[in-house]
Chain A
Amino acid sequence: MKSWLRQHRYAFGTTLRRLALQPFSTLTNIAVIALTLTVPLVGAALLTSLQPVTQQFSPQPQITLFLTPGLAAADGRATLARVQAEAESELLEVAWVPRDQAYARLRNQPAWQDALGALPDNPLPDAIIVTLQGGDAATQAPELAQRWQQWPGVDQVQLDREWIQRLQSLIQFAQLGLLLLAIGVAVIVLATVFNTVRMQALAQRDEITVARLVGATESFVRRPFLYQGALTAGIAALLSLLIAAIAVVFLNDALRGLAQSYGSDFLLRLPSWPLLIGFLVVVSGLGAFSARWSVTRNTRF
């Protein structure tokens, strides 16, 4: 065991010595990999931050019926009862939102305060918010919205799920894009480490020959290169985390004002710590894998 540890310590020391002997090349490689890794990391931060936004909205379709302004409360209640009667099997929930309640809610949002303040009185109508069940019922939402639009006392019908569906589709598209980007970045990491180790193996040709001459196993020969690959990729991954964290701080400074103008506290945040640690491990593993592949191919002499 001690002998095994000594050999690993020697391999690690050899790796550090080789990296230190070519500081410019080492730093350039680390910087290239780090900057490449930063792109999907910031993308992941964006998706991570958007996820709660979509989750806070109901996945079931919602239809809002805006009643004709000035409609008597009794007529409004009658419309509510008619909705409940006609679409009972598709309904999940029906809510009556009086115009005063809607007005009060809107006034609490900073973005609307000034606009509402400029108006002489409450311009909002009474509304009925209908939440449909998922599945087959959800597919009938457009048809229901169109039918209810024809009812007397109904001024406007809005199918509220469309925009959230679009957002979810957009996020799914972005996730796919991020996955493809991550694969591309993984290939870049593999190629960069592969080439670095190839150059190093050629530069260390004499050392490898001598080590084999005096009885070194192939594991002994490969070990410093594996450390080199893992260390280069691992340090690059750490650096990319740092860059991404700094970028998120700056982006949030710019985003905060925009989000507040919409009454939102939306901010970018990096993925959770377990995911980030997983990211470091995976990138280091990729580096070691690439190094092993390279050193196996390039030390057949």
Chain B
Amino acid sequence: MFFCPKADRSGGANTGTFLYDAALSYHRPTMIEFRHVFKSYGRGLNALSDVNFDVAAGELLFIAGPSGAGKSTLLKLIAGLIEPSRGKIKVNGHELSRLPARARPYLRRAVGVILQDVHLLNDRSAFDNVVLPLIVTGHDTATAHARARAAIDKVGLSSKSKLRPVELSGGDQQRLAIARAIVNRPALLIADEPTANLDDASAQRIIDVFLDFHHVGVTTLIATHDRDLITRHGKRVLYVDHGRVSSHVLPSKKQPQEPQP
């Protein structure tokens, strides 16, 4: 029940703005729209060029491509962490470039982000890291603690909740970042290489968490260069290479397929 985004959204959250409420609505057919999006860093370094794609609400989408292809840039643009150089990005019906700066945090609360650099706070416990998004949104202590405990339990870190991130393994840190991303019951979940450097069992457990969210209607985007992972689940793939989205491939579960350039 906890991980069903359609259930119990009251919980004392500080959802006073229409943006946050809008971000949590699931009736829109399209969650993400990219139209002629360019992103360049400095002079001549084009991370993304003329990117166009849609992601339906509730879809599980893999973003594949070699290192440096532009996957991380794509995810950061969706999360509103960076701005496009050109083009339009819509997330849950809101055009990001037209969203006032003061409204962005409210939209971001509806997006769970797990970056390659997990950005955990080493001066506080794993539990305190997970409870932070709920403090930011103004939940009461009892609700915040209950939700944080459930999120930590979901990623299998209950026994380590009092440890600090530096005392956790790389895999556990990744799981902790996922717990923090899901604790606010996001409408959109974005993960950048969440299974990188993990053993198969740990990787599978993390993917299972994402699948659980996908099954209850959360739009889920996973950037990865793990071909096995992509083919195993038979979902749509956005293949990014040299800053261009070159093809959409739907690989077969039984017969993994090479993305077509």
Contacts and interface: CB of A to CB of B under 8 A. Distances in A.
A212 B105 contact: yes
Given A3-B12, A206-B119, A210-B119, A216 B136 contact: yes
A6 interface: yes
B102 interface: yes
Interface string B158-184: 000000000000000000000010001
A217 interface: yes
A72 interface: no
B233 interface: no
Interface residues of A, number: 19
A151 interface: no
Contacts of B12: 3
Interface stretch (B26-34, B88-96, B106-114, B245-253): B106-114
Contacts of B113: 213
A209 interface: yes
B140 A6 contact: yes
Contacts of B119: 206, 209-210, 213
B108 A215 contact: yes
A216 B102 CA distance: 10
A218 interface: yes
Contacts of B123: 207
A6 B138 contact: yes
Nearest to A210: B119
Contacts of A262: none
A4 B138 contact: yes
A71 B119 CA distance: 100
Contacts of B141: 6
Given A206-B121, A214-B180, A2 B135 contact: no
Interface in A227-284: none
A7 B138 contact: yes
Contacts of A220: 105, 136
A7 to B, nearest CB: 6
A214 B14 contact: no
Contacts of B108: 212-215
A95 to B, nearest CB: 73
A78 interface: no
A159 B106 CA distance: 77
Interface in B94-143: 102, 105-109, 113, 115, 119-123, 132-133, 135-141
A116 interface: no
B75 to A, nearest CB: 12
A176 interface: no
B81 interface: yes
Interface residues of B, number: 27
Contact of B184 (A7, A206, A211, A215): A215
Interface SS of chain A: helix
Contacts of A173: none
Contacts of A212: 105, 108
Contacts of A7: 14, 135, 138
A57 interface: no
A220 B132 CA distance: 12
A10 interface: yes
Contacts of A213: 81, 108, 113, 115, 119
A129 B60 CA distance: 103
Given A215-B106, A217-B102, A210 B121 contact: yes
Contacts of A217: 102, 105-106
Most buried by B among A206, A207, A211, A215: A215
A215 B136 contact: yes
Most buried by A among B107, B121, B140: B121
B125 to A, nearest CB: 13
A137 to B, nearest CB: 66
A207 to B, nearest CB: 6
Contacts of A6: 135, 138-141
Interface in A158-206: 206
Nearest to B132: A214
Contacts of A2: 140
A7 B115 CA distance: 26
A50 to B, nearest CB: 52
Most buried by B among A10, A211, A217: A217
Nearest to A217: B105
Interface of B: 12, 14, 81, 102, 105-109, 113, 115, 119-123, 132-133, 135-141, 180, 184
21 contacts: A3-B139, A10-B135, A206-B121, A206-B122, A207-B123, A209-B119, A210-B119, A210-B121, A210-B132, A211-B132, A211-B136, A213-B113, A214-B108, A214-B109, A214-B132, A214-B184, A215-B105, A215-B133, A215-B136, A220-B105, A220-B136
Interface of A: 2-4, 6-7, 10, 206-207, 209-218, 220
Given A215-B137, A216-B105, 10 more contacts: A4-B138, A6-B140, A7-B138, A206-B119, A214-B109, A214-B133, A215-B108, A215-B133, A217-B102, A218-B102
